[in-house]
């Protein structure tokens, strides 16, 4: 488990939604850098219509925002929509109200993790495995990431993934050992402080 995952698990805000005064929409706005413009949504649906993975989402961004405003918490945090967001920013540039949709999706994922509400384990584990390698080495580690993730979640496709991995190794496109940055201590100090700061937001 990555440091951030352990951190999230032991943090008091694991049960944040049960705290008196918990307001999901306020938390999303506070944790999203800049002005999210979440409450400016006019429910036009340009976002869902532009989304390349929209047809596989439980809710379109438009629906999520309506639910957020209606005070619905569990269904929003359990939705697969933020996890199926591919960060293509099509909705972001098309939104007539300039709602920072992609950034709101990121924030919703972080809150879904810290409240234990995520439903898409594959996506959450992929993000945390990736993050764990960065915390440990300062760099992403494609080989470790793909093998660990595939064995855990995509056993049916492991044979295909092995072929893909071997192809990448053969052509020198995959390292089987991770690279560590020199000043990893500095990065870890920054990360630990950042985790503390996030919990206060």
Partner 1 sequence: MKYLFYPGCSMQRSAKPYLDSLKLVEKTLGLESVDVEDWNCCGATEFSSVNRTASHAIVGRNLALAQEQASGTDELVAACSACYLNLSKTDHFMREDADFNALVNDALSAGGLEYEPGSVKVRHSLDIIVNNVGYDAVKEKVTKPLSGLRVGAYYGCMIVRPDVNERFSNPEEPYELEDLLEVLGAEVVDFKMKTQCCSGHMTQISSEVAYDMIKQIVKPAVEEEIDVLVTLCPMCQLNIDAFQNEMNKHFGTNYEVPILYFSQLMGLAFGYTEKELGIGKEFVNVSPALAKIGKTTEEVPTPKKKKKSKSDPSLPMPKMPIHYRGGS
Spell out, one character per residue from 21 to 60, where the chain touches partner 1: x when CB under 8 A holds, - when not: ----------xxxxx----------------xx--x----
C-alpha 62/C-alpha 42 separation (Å) is: 9
Q: Is-contact 109 127, C-beta < 8 A?
A: yes
The residue with tokens 């379109």 is: 60
Question: Using CB under 8 A, which of the segments 13-21, 40-48, 65-73, 107-115 binds partner 1?
Answer: 107-115
Binding to partner 1 in span 148-167, by CB under 8 A: 149, 154, 157, 160, 164, 167
Spell out, one character per residue from 71 to 90, where the chain touches partner 1: x when CB under 8 A holds, - when not: -----------xxx-xxxxx
69 binds partner 1 (CB under 8 A): no
The residue with tokens 């929003």 is: 76
Looking at residue 68, the DSSP 8-state letter turns out to be H
> Of 75, 27, 25, 67, nearest to 43 (Cα)?
67
User: At closest approach, how far in Å is the CB of 134 from partner 1?
Assistant: 5
Looking at residue 121, the DSSP 8-state letter turns out to be H
Q: What φ, ψ does residue 91 adopt, rounded to 5°?
A: -65, -40
Q: Rank residues 21 and 87 by Cβ distance to partner 1 and give the closer one.
A: 87
């Amino acid at each position: 488990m990555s440091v951030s995952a352990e951190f999230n698990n032991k943090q008091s805000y694991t049960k944040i939604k049960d705290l008196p005064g918990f307001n999901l929409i306020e938390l999303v706005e506070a944790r999203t850098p800049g002005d999210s413009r979440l409450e400016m949504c006019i429910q036009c649906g340009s976002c869902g219509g532009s989304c390349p993975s929209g047809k596989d989402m439980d809710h379109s961004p438009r629906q999520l925002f309506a639910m957020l405003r209606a005070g619905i918490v569990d269904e929003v945090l359990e939705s697969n929509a933020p996890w199926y967001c591919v960060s293509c920013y099509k909705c972001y540039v098309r939104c007539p109200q300039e709602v920072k949709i992609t950034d709101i999706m990121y924030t919703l994922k972080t809150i879904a993790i810290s409240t234990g509400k995520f439903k898409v384990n594959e996506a959450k584990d992929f993000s945390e495995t990736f993050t764990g390698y960065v915390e440990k080495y300062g760099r992403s580690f494609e080989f470790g990431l793909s093998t660990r993730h595939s064995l855990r979640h995509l056993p049916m496709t492991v044979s295909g993934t092995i072929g893909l991995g071997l192809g990448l190794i053969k052509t020198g496109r995959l390292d089987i050992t991770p690279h560590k940055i020199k000043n990893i201590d500095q990065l870890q100090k920054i990360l630990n402080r950042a985790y503390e700061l996030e919990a206060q937001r």
